[in-house]
């Protein structure tokens, strides 16, 4: 039994390492669960034999009264910061001035909290937070639950290593999702969430938080005969620690700047948050030569990404009405520049969002705008309140038509259900002409609003009758013959759009661009689509009950039906003209993952697969039907083999596409 017990510990620890540290599972979930259950049974029957490196410690259990204080034998230092190229150059020059010709290791600056891990004879003994750098807190029980922290090393050595504990973006979002459901206050960011989790006295809670860890520092490299930081990273990796694969050895400042540029762009595609790049002198002898200040090593620094968050004042909260009648509170902000663009407004989504952030009018708030992301209010700075702030109050009546607002089912949003509400109608018209819908050039949001208010257009059909008002329109300020002709031309051209645009333009709730395409392909004409029944709609791949219900509801309103028929009568094309969309049985309703380098770009392949009716996702799971493998494939290929998923090379892909 003892032998089996030891064997199980080895199997499970290895499986954890392969899955969590190498991201390369070697056994199936079922097998893993089976081994774990067997181990738990043995431990339950024979509590006296439980080993400290048993994976059963990962589930947590101990509840502490407090965290013990720990003194770090070597202080845990922080890093100095640099913010731009010239400060990086100055750092490089300070090193060169000491007669060093530097090589640097560049690393991602993980946004979490630093941890020191101690091992004796290769077994995990204890873990501590940084604290004030000299005295930290003993978080051993919680760190045991982190599956990327090995409980046993590949060599029976005594060692201290340091790294960063963090929470992935996905885990953070899930956690907040759950907190929202339970009505608990939301956590501000993954770093706070990780720090809060590490400081749980009940290690079961910490275990449930699914923290992760990257190791990046060996305080005593000389003890192991190691002379460079890069070799230290390799050494720690070989011992079984999780070392970030993005770490790079660079030989000059240009390579260093290139690394920064690349990682800055790549930042949002990482599954965890980083807040900069750490630059470390590679040679340990050179590090010694540079030495330390009281707070920082002089041989390393952190390049910090420009702030994505800026403080400003929440001047007011104004409500807007969307085309579905949804009411949105919007923050009116004192204009601020964030990452190069001026922000004046930010959506506050709904009443719950405003309440969860505890926003008051007049508050100082922190605004964030990541690249290509709409601005958002991150949090309120409560310290800045002076008592003059006004409470937020949700409105009860539509700000445009004054109808009472309604909450649908269990939803958080309020709606104006008046189909004749001016705001809803204007938004509906704006959507109808928009680029991805009927694509009518020249009819911008303002013009639609003006034409509506001047009673030239009241519904979709009126757009196609605008020509009747040509005489009046050319007289309007800012317009002339030519601009009106252009608008009328593009209205005329829009009549020949393919069906998917027509469907999308109607603005049926929950029917987006992608769904419209699926529906157009399926029904071929608007007339067919209008007659679709609920069960048939629901049975279409990628269309669920909510969408089906929404379509049925839309056409159950006579006015909507009449309007669509009128549009067809006026000459709006009702046929699906998608040509490339010959569906191919090898692709329809299948999910694909692409790995490695192929002769066309992944985006091109993705588009082609989608046009043939398939779906492309990023990670291999049980739902994956086929993994397409190019040159130098990643761990996805191995995962596919392990899970027995069908694998196609490029030749096979082309063959299937042409079948």
Distance CA 417, CA 504 (A): 21
Distance CA 456, CA 469 (A): 7
Q: What is the DSSP letter of 210?
A: -
Catalytic residue among 10, 44, 68, 109: 109
* Footprint on residues 286-305 left by ligand IVH (CB under 6 A): 297, 300, 302
- For ligand IVH, the closer of residues 292 and 643 by Cβ is 292
- For ligand IVH, the closer of residues 291 and 571 by Cβ is 291
Which among 108-116, 168-176, 565-573, 626-634 is the span making contact with ligand IVH, rule CB under 6 A? 108-116
Distance CA 200, CA 31 (A): 31
Distances (CA, A) of 512 to 6, 508, 518: 55, 8, 10
Residue 360 annotated in active site: no
Min separation Cβ 217 and ligand IVH, Å? 5
216 binds ligand IVH (CB under 6 A): yes
Among 114, 282, 324, 624, binds ligand IVH (CB under 6 A): 114
Identify the CA nearest to 352 among candidates 113, 102, 552, 185: 185
Distance CA 76, CA 134 (A): 7
57 binds ligand IVH (CB under 6 A): no
Distance CA 449, CA 444 (A): 9
* Footprint on residues 155-194 left by ligand IVH (CB under 6 A): 164
Query: Cα 200–236–632 angle (5° rounding)?
Result: 105
Task: Indicate if the alpha-carbon torsion angle 130, 132, 138, 141 is positive or negative.
Answer: negative
Identify the CA nearest to 189 among candidates 400, 376, 440: 376
- For ligand IVH, the closer of residues 19 and 296 by Cβ is 296
Residues in a beta bridge with 347: 330
Min separation Cβ 277 and ligand IVH, Å? 9
Tabulate helix, strand, coil % of the chain (nearest 5): 40, 20, 40
Under DSSP, is residue 614 helix (H, G, I), strand (E, B) or coil? coil
128 binds ligand IVH (CB under 6 A): no
Residue pair 218/161 in contact by the 8 Å Cβ criterion: yes
104 binds ligand IVH (CB under 6 A): no
* Footprint on residues 255-284 left by ligand IVH (CB under 6 A): 278
Among 39, 42, 70, 79, binds ligand IVH (CB under 6 A): 79
Min separation Cβ 105 and ligand IVH, Å? 9
Which among 109-117, 309-317, 324-332, 618-626 is the span making contact with ligand IVH, rule CB under 6 A? 109-117
Task: Indicate if the alpha-carbon torsion angle 271, 276, 279, 280 is positive or negative.
Answer: negative
218 binds ligand IVH (CB under 6 A): no
- For ligand IVH, the closer of residues 69 and 295 by Cβ is 295
Position closest to ligand IVH via CB: 114
127 binds ligand IVH (CB under 6 A): no
Among 20, 72, 109, 639, binds ligand IVH (CB under 6 A): 109
H or E segment to which residue 567 belongs:
helix 558-570
Length, in residues, of the chain: 659
221 binds ligand IVH (CB under 6 A): no
Distance CA 480, CA 218 (A): 73
Min separation Cβ 293 and ligand IVH, Å? 12
Q: Exposed e or buried b for every residue in 94-109, given b needs 16+ CB within 10 A?
A: ebeeeebebbbbbbbb
Which among 73-81, 173-181, 232-240, 635-643 is the span making contact with ligand IVH, rule CB under 6 A? 73-81
Min separation Cβ 266 and ligand IVH, Å? 16
Distances (CA, A) of 449 to 436, 461, 504: 19, 16, 20
- For ligand IVH, the closer of residues 133 and 596 by Cβ is 133
Which among 77-85, 118-126, 433-441, 532-540 is the span making contact with ligand IVH, rule CB under 6 A? 77-85
- For ligand IVH, the closer of residues 107 and 500 by Cβ is 107
Residue pair 129/139 in contact by the 8 Å Cβ criterion: yes
Residue pair 121/53 in contact by the 8 Å Cβ criterion: no
Min separation Cβ 199 and ligand IVH, Å? 15
- For ligand IVH, the closer of residues 106 and 354 by Cβ is 106
**Residues 6 or more apart whose Cβ sits within 8 Å of residue 456:** 462, 466, 469, 472, 473
Min separation Cβ 300 and ligand IVH, Å? 6
77 binds ligand IVH (CB under 6 A): yes
217 binds ligand IVH (CB under 6 A): yes
**Residues lying near ligand IVH in the complex (CB under 6 A):** 77-79, 107, 109-110, 114, 164, 216-217, 278, 297, 300, 302
Residues marked active site are found at: 109
């Amino acid at each position: 039994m003892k032998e089996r017990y030891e064997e199980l510990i080895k199997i499970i620890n290895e499986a954890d390492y392969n899955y969590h540290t190498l991201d390369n599972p070697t056994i199936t979930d079922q097998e893993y669960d089976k081994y774990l259950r067997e181990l738990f049974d043995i431990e339950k029957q024979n509590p006296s034999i439980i080993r400290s490196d048993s994976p059963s410690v990962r589930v947590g259990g101990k509840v502490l009264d407090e965290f013990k204080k720990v003194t770090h034998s070597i202080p845990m230092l922080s890093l100095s910061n640099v913010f731009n190229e010239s400060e990086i150059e100055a750092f490089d020059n300070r090193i060169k001035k000491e007669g060093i010709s530097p090589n640097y290791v560049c690393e991602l600056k993980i946004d979490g909290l630093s941890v020191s891990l101690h091992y004796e004879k290769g077994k995990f003994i204890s873990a501590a937070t940084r604290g004030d750098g000299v005295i930290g807190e003993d978080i051993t029980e919680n760190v045991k639950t982190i599956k990327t922290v090995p409980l046993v090393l590949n060599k029976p050595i005594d060692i201290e290593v340091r790294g960063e504990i963090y929470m992935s973006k996905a885990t953070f979002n899930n956690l907040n999702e759950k907190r929202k459901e339970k009505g608990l206050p939301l956590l501000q960011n993954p770093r706070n969430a990780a720090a809060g989790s590490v400081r749980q006295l009940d290690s079961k809670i910490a275990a449930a938080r699914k923290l992760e860890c990257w190791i990046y520092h060996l305080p005593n490299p000389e003890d192991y005969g190691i002379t460079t930081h890069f070799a230290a990273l390799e050494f720690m990796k070989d011992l079984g620690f999780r070392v970030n694969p993005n770490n790079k050895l660079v030989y000059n400042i240009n390579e260093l700047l290139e690394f920064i540029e690349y990682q800055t762009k790549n930042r949002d595609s990482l599954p965890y948050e980083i807040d900069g790049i750490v630059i470390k002198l590679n040679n340990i002898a050179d590090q010694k030569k540079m030495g330390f200040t009281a707070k920082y090593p002089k041989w390393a620094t952190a390049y910090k990404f420009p702030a994505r968050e800026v403080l400003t004042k929440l001047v007011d909260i104004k409500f807007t009405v969307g085309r579905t009648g949804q009411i949105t509170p919007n923050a009116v902000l004192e204009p601020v520049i964030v990452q190069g663009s001026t922000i004046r407004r930010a959506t506050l989504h709904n009443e719950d969002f405003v309440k969860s952030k505890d926003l008051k009018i007049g508050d100082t708030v922190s605004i964030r705008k990541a690249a290509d992301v709409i601005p958002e209010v991150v949090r309120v700075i409560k310290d800045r309140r002076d008592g003059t702030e006004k409470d937020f109050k949700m409105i009860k009546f539509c700000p445009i038509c004054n109808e009472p607002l309604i909450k649908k089912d269990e939803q958080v949003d309020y709606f104006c259900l008046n189909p004749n509400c001016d705001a809803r109608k204007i938004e509906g018209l704006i959507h109808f002409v928009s680029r991805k819908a009927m694509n009518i050039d020249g009819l911008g949001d303002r013009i639609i609003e003006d034409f509506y208010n001047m009673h030239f257009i009241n519904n979709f059909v009126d757009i196609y009758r605008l020509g009747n008002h040509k005489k009046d329109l050319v007289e309007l300020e800012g317009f002339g013959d030519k601009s009106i002709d252009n608008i009328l031309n593009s209205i005329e051209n829009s009549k020949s759009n393919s069906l998917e645009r027509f469907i999308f333009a109607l603005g049926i709730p929950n029917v987006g661009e992608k769904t419209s395409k699926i529906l157009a392909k399926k029904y071929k004409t608007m007339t067919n689509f209008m007659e679709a029944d609920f069960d048939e709609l629901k049975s279409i791949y990628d269309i669920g009950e909510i969408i089906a219900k929404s379509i049925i509801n839309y056409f159950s309103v006579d006015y909507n039906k009449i309007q669509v028929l009128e549009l067809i009568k006026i000459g709006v094309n009702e046929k699906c003209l998608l040509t490339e969309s010959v569906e191919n049985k090898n692709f329809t309703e299948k999910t694909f993952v692409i790995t490695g380098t192929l002769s066309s770009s992944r985006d091109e392949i993705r588009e082609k697969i989608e046009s043939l009716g398939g779906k492309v996702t990023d990670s291999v799971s049980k739902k994956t039907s086929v993994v397409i493998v190019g040159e130098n494939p990643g761990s996805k290929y191995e995962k596919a083999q392990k899970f027995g998923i069908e694998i196609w090379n490029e030749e096979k892909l082309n063959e299937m596409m042409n079948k």
